[in-house]
Amino acid sequence: MTGLEYTYTELPTIKQLQKMRQLPGGLGWEHIEANYLATTPEQRDDYHEVLLIPRLQRQLREINLDDNGQPWLDQRRINQAISQLQNLGPGKLMEKNETLTKLLLTGVKVEGLTGKQITINLIDFDHPERNDFLAISQFRIDPPGVKGPNGHYRPDIILFVNGIPLVVIECKAPGADMLKSGIQDLLKYSNQRHSLQPEGIERLFHYNQLMISCTSGRAVVGTVGSQPKHYLEWKDTSPFDSDLIAQVLDITNPTLPDEELISSAANLEWFKNSTKLMNAKNTLILKS
């Protein structure tokens, strides 16, 4: 790819994600550049699917172990778990997003070896190294009713944890009001612009935990339900020291918002706490 957007924003963001392996815990992101013109998409069966089912199946086996530290989930139980992710029940975007967030934090129930229901994890917060971190750029998604190369959407970068799309990043070329442009794209993708006709790829955002608009040197972040005025810059490099972030990511200003955001998003304890806060916010909005 070429262009100012790719050169100054998308490519540096990808490189920063990959460099995260150098931080304590080594939770860097594998990266795939998607070929959106391919007949068969990477990591899934068709362009309507937003979950990476093969990766999700593999990770459910690897992070849910028995008392002897061995995988025990068979395909039938894995299918039970994935079915709950694919069928989040009735409701609009906010309600489905809240349901999914609860599943991320508390797990899903499947039939245990004794026949009783037990809870298994979708993300291993206690052992972050067991999880799978994947960034895919130009990830094509076809809306309902769309087939072929026309009419699809391609968010710039999507971050998957164990095959679940948790973060969407929209990258913009340097310039005035470009962060606002990125936010509008995110709202369009998630069908949150109050359009008379449904638009975008709302299903992707059933699973979303962070929506990021970034340009060279700046980034703002929101969640499902956030309007443009709610998107804020990142101000803290926690859980990592700002000097360490500057050294690993090779930047001169360790308080640069986009690097801070990426470093924080790669930390699962940070994610778990932030997700709890986001879930509480969604509950308040739904009740208001």
Query: pLDDT for 229-277, tens place per residue?
Result: 999 887 666 677 778 777 877 765 543 344 444 444 445 555 565 555 5
pLDDT tens, 153-192?
999 999 999 999 999 999 999 988 999 999 999 999 999 9
Look up residue 60 and give its two tokens: 């459910």
Q: Which residue has the tokens 């972030």?
A: 245
Average pLDDT of the chain, as a whole number? 85
DSSP string, 190-254: TT-S--SS--S-GGGGGS-SEEEEEETTEEEEE-TT--GGG-EE----TTS-HHHHHHHHT-S-T
Look up residue 199 and give its two tokens: 């638009």
Question: Is the pTM here over 0.85, yes or no?
Answer: yes
Instruction: Find the mean pLDDT for residues 220-227.
Output: 92
Q: What long-range pairs does 235-241 form, CB within 8 A, spacing at least 24? A: 235/260, 236/260, 236/264, 237/263, 237/264, 238/264, 238/270, 239/264, 239/267, 239/269, 239/270, 240/23, 240/24, 240/267
pLDDT of 32 > 70? The answer is yes
pLDDT attached to residue 257: 40
At residue 65 the predicted structure's pLDDT band, cuts being 50, 70 and 90, is very high
Instruction: Find the mean pLDDT for residues 55-78.
Output: 96
Kindly state the percentage of the chain with pLDDT values over 90: 58
Instruction: Find the mean pLDDT for residues 15-22.
Output: 83
Look up residue 161 and give its two tokens: 């944890």
User: Where on the phi/psi map is residue 91: left (φ > 0), alpha (ψ -120 to 50), or beta?
Assistant: left
pLDDT attached to residue 238: 67
pLDDT attached to residue 240: 74
The pair phi, psi for residue 152, each rounded to 5°, is -90, 175
Among 71-75, 142-146, 202-206, 250-254, the least confident range:
250-254
Specify the higher pLDDT residue, 23 or 65: 65
pLDDT attached to residue 241: 77
Radius of gyration over every alpha carbon of the chain, rounded to an integer in angstroms: 19
Instruction: Find the mean pLDDT for residues 27-40.
Output: 85
Closest CA to 93 of 229, 165, 190: 190
CATH class of 4-48+128-287: alpha beta
- Per-domain residue ranges for the chain? 4-48+128-287
pLDDT of 207 > 70? The answer is yes
